[in-house]
Amino acid sequence: MLDMTKGSIFKLLLMFTIPMFIGSVFQQLYNVVDRMIVGQFIGEKALAAVGASFSVIFLLIALAMGATMGVSVLVSQYYGAKNYKKVRRCVETSYIFMTAISLVFMLIGFLGNDFILRLLNTPAEILADAELYLNTIFAGMFLFFGYNLVSAILRGLGDSSTPLYLLIFSTLVNIALDLIFVICFRWGVFGAALATIISQGVSFIGGMYYLQKINRLFRVNYFRLRFDREIFTRSMQIGLPSGVQQMLVAAGMMVLHRLVNGFGTNALAAFTAAGSIDAFAMMPAMNLSMAMSTFVGQNIGAGKQERVQGAVKAGLLMAAVIAAAVSLCVVFFSKWWLLIFTAEPAVLAVGRDYLHIVGSFYLPLMLMFIYTGVLRGAGDTFIPTLLTVLSLWIIRVPTAALLSARIGLNGVWWSMPVSWSLGVIFSAAYFYSGGWQKRVVVKPRKTQGKDEILRELEVLDLEKKEVRP
């Protein structure tokens, strides 16, 4: 576990972000490998079918991130405060909640995916494949939510390396199963989805084993899980606004998908391919944002507010350098990235327009992620939610609808940098106002000596000889 309450701020952020970024690359490979193999070995219609499912899958990812955000923040703040009893209670409570929410959304998915795809104006020729892909994904909801929860707990503890190792192994499993199911068995989009679910299960089981067997501090009895109402309430206070925010982003993506679907299968295939590259480009910002949340959570829990300001400066500098490098890479090599998925000229032309427009404006997006990461780490998730509503639904969606009616698909692409630019202005203004400092969830505890920590750990049925305070 990484203690972020002491040491070089820049080094700590870098050490925490790099393994998490590499892990995110491997996690994103789940979708990319599916799309690459489907696009190259089945065709652009199958690629479009997988792409049509993405906005729904993105909604599921948003729900998982929102449901686990509160857990990650509380774990980081309790861990920073050295309150290990509360850390374990967070873990137990989150297991119960995760099981319930995954079953609920699995049922909703089975019953509603046909309605959602038709609502998104999915082209008729790919509707059946899109439904099959989604139904397979929904069948593995428990594994999907479980992996995201274990990752959130580990991030809160300052451990970004273990999820990386799990993801590397499970991604290799996913690639192997994709090749077997799609190419050898010819199971089409069903095989691609099945490979993804099995691979998620590998990550989930591996993470549970790590928490249960290797780190004794957080060992729990699955048959005697205790539900802590106070922790659940606090987790919801933090995570629910974040979940709403992520759902609003996902819903906005659905609206954009509906607009793109109206331009036909080639446009959707291009959106799918270019969107995969765009997702890779955004990962450094997302990972740095999560690192900021953990850093801020631990230091606020330890009563070291002064380190937060230093982290913001370091984070903004890192984000600016990363944004410049990523934009150059995406814009100048756009054609070669797209050829990974398809060689269809019409699809390539639309995809290059997307990457040239969107890829030129990663700087405001990445700066916005830094500010929102700090706010979430402090436990203030309401304002970021409000800012998301403003930048997405008041700016991006109307802009996309208006411009697409006048200049075509490029109008949809231009709506993204417009919303990012205004979003970073709003986020920065709120951060520098200082209002977030009043929403800290966990108050710092007095410094504990070795004997006090040992007594607290004994309450958790841990042996003194295994404690390393």
pLDDT in tens, 120-155: 888 888 889 999 999 999 999 899 888 888 888 887
Question: Is 248's pLDDT higher than 80?
Answer: no
Which of residues 69 and 270 earns the better pLDDT score?
A: 270
Packing angle, helices 345-358 and 265-301, rounded to 10: 30
Question: Is 61's pLDDT higher than 90?
Answer: no
The whole-number pLDDT of residue 24 equals 72
Q: What is the pTM of this model?
A: 0.68
The whole-number pLDDT of residue 1 equals 58
Confidence of residue 468 (pLDDT cuts 50, 70, 90): very low
Q: What is the tens place of the pLDDT at every residue in 436-452? A: 776 555 555 554 554 55
Question: Is 251's pLDDT higher than 50?
Answer: yes
Confidence of residue 412 (pLDDT cuts 50, 70, 90): very high
Question: Is 405's pLDDT higher than 80?
Answer: yes
- For the chain, the domains span 12-443
Mean pLDDT of the region 373-385: 79
The mean pLDDT of the chain is 82
Mean pLDDT of the region 277-298: 85
